Amino acid sequence: MTDSSNKTFQSEKGIHTDFMEKMTYGDYLQLDPLLSSQKRLSSHHDEMLFIIIHQVSELWLKLIIHEMQAAIKKIQANELQASYKMLARVSKIQSQIIQAWDVLSTLTPAEYMQFRDKLGNASGFQSYQYRLVEFVLGYKTPFILKIYQKDKELHQILMDAYHAPGLYDVAIQSLDKAGLPIDKGVLDRDISKTYQQNASVEQAWLQVYQNVDRYWDLYQLAEKLVDIEDWFQQWRFRHMKTVERIIGHKTGTGGSSGVSYLKKVLEHYFFPELWEIRTKL
């Protein structure tokens, strides 16, 4: 520390320096276990990058789930204004995860091949938090659940989310509460199945967009949902291009077709009517 820095520090008389019996920043954040969890299986320098990028993404996914599940409860309670802040935060988090691909893309194919075999069959395809995000967004695929049967507690968490209403389910319920006609079959549908586009829902959203002043709260909700799907698709695209850049069209470590699979999921829409009405307005 330079003399000037030392003088500046000493001039701050109120700074706490005695933490023998007090909680520190590191204690609060549990930095010891957090920063000791990057355990490389090879001696290759770039494996540290690979581990940290994925761990950081999992932390962001945890916050996305936290925010979206809270938003669902607010929407169910007809507290739409409170849900907007949570959904807006999700979009900002998504922008951070998208930028993470830029960092991972500094890993070249030659470098990745030096430690890829150490992963065995471990793959991001198995990320249970990513599946929870998909479930909250209404994309529910039963065969995915088999991956998690090894851990009964985790499997139950996923099963609960699988059978719980998603973000779009409660948004459609809000349309119904506002007096917009929604087919009974949609309102009573089996929410453990992936949502399918419906004409009555499309017409209801069209009414919202054509009468913004009357349905301002629902209009804002719709735009928050579009933001989330837009960012999610951008994340999927950057994921696909990063994988293609690093491993080309090789099969994924988890057994998926890799780039081919990632291109297919780009075609899926979580909130199809909100995109369809843009052509019809």
**pLDDT tens profile 151-195:** 999 999 999 999 999 999 999 999 999 999 999 999 999 999 999
Q: Give the separation between CA 74 and CA 81, rounded to whole angstroms.
A: 8
Percent of the chain scoring above 70 in pLDDT = 96
Q: Is 258's pLDDT higher than 60?
A: yes
- Token pair 């276990």: residue: 33
Phi, psi of 50 (to 5 degrees): -60, -45
Query: CA-based angle 88:89:91, to the nearest 5?
Result: 65
State mean pLDDT over 14-21: 77
Q: Does 50 appear as a known binding residue?
A: yes
54 assigned to a ligand binding site: yes
| Domain limits, the chain | 45-278
Residue 79 CA to residue 90 CA, distance in Å, equals 17
Q: What's the pTM?
A: 0.91
CATH topology of domain 45-278: Methane Monooxygenase Hydroxylase; Chain G, domain 1 (1.20.58)
According to DSSP, residue 164 is labeled S
pLDDT for 216 beyond 90: yes
Task: Give the span between the Cα atoms of 198 and 187, in whole angstroms.
Answer: 11
Q: pLDDT value at position 171?
A: 98
Between 106 and 15, the more confident residue is 106
What tokens does 122 get?
């471990």
52 is in an annotated binding site: yes
Distance from C-alpha of 197 to C-alpha of 195, rounded to nearest angstrom: 7
Is 53 annotated as ligand-binding?
yes
Mean pLDDT, residues 238-260:
88
pLDDT average, residue stretch 249-275:
89
Judge whether 239 is annotated as a binding position: yes
Residue 194 annotated as binding? no
State residue 1's pLDDT score: 53
Do the beta carbons of residue 115 and residue 44 sit within 8 Å?
yes
